Structure 1
Amino acid sequence: MRSVLIIVFIAIVGCGSYGFYIRPEDYSTGELCIGLSIVGLFFVWMPLFIYHRWRKRNFKDYMLTKENLDKMRKEGKDKKM
């Protein structure tokens, strides 16, 4: 998964760089490449990155439930003493 993220990121950066390079000569193609790289970054790479970072984590550990609030209060009191 990590290698896929790196390859996709390099492809997106390459497309954006090419768009900035070609833009003075062919404005519409350059803008298209820049736009496609932004769309790829936010709609392809970012969801893959978020999934990769959160796939092995327990979502309930980050929710403010009564048990977690009690645990935080107990830890806070232990640190003050």
Structure 2
Amino acid sequence: MKRAVQFVFFIILIAFVVGYYFKWQDNNLLGDRIIGLGVLAFSFILIPLFLFSRSKNKKITDYMLTKENIDKMNDEKGKNTENQ
């Protein structure tokens, strides 16, 4: 999965470079389209792939503010007051 994310990242990076090259060559319409496709691929392909690969095998409830997690944070907060 890590290699797939890296591969997609480099493809998008190449698309940005090629798009700006076409803009530099005064072909603004094609350059803008390539850059726009790169932005769309970044938003709708790369970011979800990255988030999925980083959050695999993790419990989402550990990161949610539930009553149990708030109580657990308050209990731990009271224990670490020795240096105040």
Q: TM-score per shorter chain, which class?
A: over 0.9
Superposition deviation, residue 38 in structure 1: 0.4
Structure 2 unaligned regions, length at least 5: none
Task: Find the residue that maps to 2:24 and give its secondary structure.
Answer: coil
Could you tell me how far apart the structure 2 residues matched to 1:65 and 1:27 are? Answer: 51
Task: Give aligned pairs, total.
Answer: 81
Counterparts of 1:1-81 in structure 2, within 5 Å, are 1-25=1-25, 26-81=27-82
| Structure 1 Cα separation of the partners of residues 33 and 79 of structure 2 | 58
Task: Kindly report the root-mean-square deviation, in angstroms, between the aligned alpha carbons of the 2 structures.
Answer: 1.0
TM-score by length of 1: 0.93
After superposition, give the CA deviation of every residue in 1:40-81 in whole Å (9 maximum; x if it has no partner). 000110011111111111011111122111111110000014
Normalised TM-score (structure 2): 0.90
Return 5+ residue gaps in structure 1 as ranges.
none
Q: Give percent identity, aligned residues only.
A: 33
Q: Distance in 2 between matches of 1:15 and 1:63?
A: 37
